[in-house]
Amino acid sequence: MVLTVVAGLLVLRLVAQLVLNALNGAEVRRHAAAPPPAVAAMMDAETYGRAVGYSLARLRFDSIVDAFDAAVLAAVVFSGILPALYAPFHRLAPGDSWNGALYLLAVGLVLAAVSLPFDWWGQFRLEQRFGFNQATLRLWVADKLKGLVLLAGIGFPLVWALLSLVRWAGGAWWVWGFALLFGFQLLFLVLYPRLILPLFNRLTPLAEGDLRARLLALADRTGFRARTIQVMDGSKRSAHANAFFTGFGRFRRIVLYDTLISQLAPAELEAVLAHEIGHYRRGHVPKMLAVAAALQAGGFALVAWLARSAWLNAAFGFPPGALAPAFLLFGLLSGLATFWLSPVFNWVSRCHEYQADAFAREAVRGPGPLVDALRKLARKNLSNLTPHPLYSGFHYSHPTPVERERALVA
């Protein structure tokens, strides 16, 4: 019964993904020859034609990846390979916590390696075809190796500690496990810009001048006193642009992609930064942290219940009560259910985006600079300006530029 339910959910999600991709492709093609007036105002005909081509190419690629991921998940879950690999790990290292952590790390590495060809194709074929890829093969390989080292150096000790809590805390291990993981994530918010991000990108202070003075004045005016404004060399990997802030409290930092600085005028950069500050001033960060904490606590409680159950591990060939397999099965299969919650989470995220846009409009005294920035970024990123509503509901955490502009000038 368990395997039948899992198989049904897997097929149902794949069908939904492929149908959503097909609906979105049909919607893009429907507007290809005659874009709506709001879209025509954002992009010239040549750029819009390239955006249509990019959107359709991404949809075709995503459909292939979705089908492949479903096939891989079905293979590892139903073939019996996961329990077959689990038994030998008990002979490789002392103690259940070590064995379980090594097992989870090994499975994670194998699954990541399987997806590498698609990662390479997306970067060096699809993104390159449309002029976005800036990375070299050497840099791409270096990124993967650094990620592997971080996974082993950070992920393994964290998983070992989580599994060890069963012995230390007994039946209440999941409460302490949640506290450990969430505390680590808060610490990571502070350490990431200092220790992790510099391993992949070079961060330099924004040079003295009118732009820096303008952005710092905006930060002071809006009550967002950051310690520094840094520029990240995002251009060495992609032509896409972004801006964000990291950390919290006195550890807060503003980060701008160098591509963003090269693409936008000072007034537009000010508006983009005001939008990011709007997320902070409207309390979106603590709200999302609270939601994440609630979901993680629920996830740990569910894993603890599943590990105690007589049916989950047995259905997939694992020893009853073993915690590492319960974590693995939860990680592999939870997406079959949470996929259907994506529209809810995306709706909340889009509400936050509208609120941040409204804050930016007030901070820069009008919608013009942010509207201009959105139009430029839509052209540079070849954004899909006519997605199908169902597709955007499942996949878009941000409103489309057309929707954001409509709200800004309303």
Q: Is the pLDDT of residue 295 over 90?
A: yes
Residue 93's pLDDT is 63
Residues assigned a catalytic role? 276, 357
- Percent of residues in the chain assigned helix, strand, coil, to nearest 5: 75, 5, 20
Judged against a pLDDT cut of 90, whether residue 229 lies above it is answered with no
d(CA 196, CA 173): 29
| Sheet containing 253-257: order of strands | 203-205, 229-232, 253-257, 243-246
pLDDT at 239 over 90: no
What percent of the chain stands above pLDDT 70? 98
pLDDT at 242 over 90: no
| Residue 245: φ, ψ to 5° | -125, 150
**Which residues face 255 on adjacent strands?**
230, 244
Instruction: Assess contact for 109 and 151: CB atoms under 8 A.
Output: yes
Helix (H) / strand (E) containing 232:
strand 229-232
- pLDDT, the chain, mean: 91
Tens digits of residue pLDDT in 10-58: 999 999 999 999 999 999 999 999 999 999 999 999 999 999 999 999 9
Closest Cα partner for 109 from 145, 157, 67, 158? Answer: 145
| Whether the model pTM is above 0.85 | yes
Residue 20 near residue 391 (C-beta atoms within 8 A):
yes
- Which pLDDT value is given to residue 82? 92
3-state secondary structure of 239: coil
Mean pLDDT of all residues in 58-77? 96
User: 133 - beta bridge partners?
Assistant: 238
**One-letter identity of residue 59:** L
Alpha helical stretches, state H, 192-322: 197-200, 210-221, 258-263, 266-281, 284-308, 312-315
